[in-house]
Amino acid sequence: MILLRRRLDQAAGRALAASAAGPRSAAATRDAAQLALANPGYRSTMNRAGAGSSSSIWAAWAQRQAQRQHTSGGGRSQWTQVRQQWTDRSGYQHFGGRGRPYAAVLYSQDAQRRALRWLVVVGGAAAVVWVTSRQEVPYTGRMHAILVDPDSEHELGQQTFQQVLAEARMQGTLLPAWHPATVAVRRVGMRVAKAATDGYGGGFQRHLQDMNWEFAVINSPQVNAFVVPGGKVVVYTGLLRMVRSEDELAAVLAHESAHVVARHAAERITQMGALEVARMLAYWVFGLPIPAGPLSAIFFLPNSRKAETEADVIGIQIMARACYNPGGMVTMFEKMGREEAREGGDRVPKFLRTHPHSSDRIKAIQKMMPTAEGLYETNGCEAAGGALARFRAVVQRLDGD
């Protein structure tokens, strides 16, 4: 290190003398600058030496001269930029700053070949997995890739459902099984579930076999209902207070059941895993750090809205086959749209929404109305009727609690 510092000091001295002699000694200045810039270890020593060190003065001067060297000729000024040189582990010599890791792919042929091999291997494996894991969604015929086993999916749903019930019990908001609201939800829900799992609609339905459907009601002002894999449905009383017929309740439960039929939860888990693998490969191969946040708005939110629309399309057919008037889904979403507008939710930009706007959902439902009405008629549902008066009594009792 001492010998190297002496060489740098000598080079800097020659550069100072060259600058005094004129532009004809510019080569000496460049030599000194490259020596000073090409050795980061020496620059660290120089910085520790302090401003009073003669070597630091000479090296600093050489560095400034290297970054901006002025030569005159023909009455015009010409500026020459001296580029930094460095060598990577493979022995390749680079000019300019080291930059980010992915810069190696732009300049190194070896890195480009390595990245290409990774892309071919990973792309081929992904294509094989994609083709072998594709399943057809019942009723719609859409193809999607699922990498989650149905048993694992059901186990995950059961754990989530039990956790939700445990929290509701601790808060004292879980309605008992004998409560009229719970009884009404279970009665309508089991009728819908029977139509959802009878094999109609084609597509992949192995996950629906021997499914244990469960329904719970939580006393909360939330206007919401949700389902987890395995046929576990939770309805909040805030939503039940908006319902005025069994047809409207069936619309809510058929929508949630459609998520189970279409395996939307398993599809979401598969998509999250695939994107996480893509993020890791982008960083390992190209050095590109892809933040997870923007992926939600770019990928997951649009797919969430599509899944909700698909659940509406499937749900209206399921409720019609269960002998519930499909028009109940239209009136239910009209009420939810008014509630959404009252709370200001309709002002949320479309690209940031997890669910489509209620008006858009109603349009999609109305397009399916002829099909749903045909299923309602062909199943002889006009003779089945409904217990509207009994259900209204249940809702009135719920309002009084």
SS3 per residue for the chain: CHHHHHHHHHHHHHHHHHHHHCHHHHHHHHHHHHHHHCCHHHHHHHHHHCCCCHHHHHHHHHHHHHHCEEEEECCEEEEECCCCEEECCCCCEEECCCCCCCHHHHHCHHHHHHHHHHHHHHHHHHHHHHHHCEEECCCCCCEEECCCCHHHHHHHHHHHHHHHHHHHHHHCCECCCCCHHHHHHHHHHHHHHHHHCCCCCCCCCHHHCCCCCEEEEECCCCCCEEEECCCEEEEEHHHHCCCCCHHHHHHHHHHHHHHHHHCHHHHHHHHHHHHHHHHHHHHHHHCCCCCHHHHHHHHHHHHHHHHHHHHHHHHHHHHHHCCCCCHHHHHHHHHHHHHHHHCCHHHCCHHHCCCCCHHHHHHHHHHHHHHHHHHHHHCCHHHCCCCHHHHHHHHHHHHHC
Say which of 256, 308, 310, 340 is annotated catalytic.
256
Q: Is 256 a catalytic residue?
A: yes
Active site residues: 256
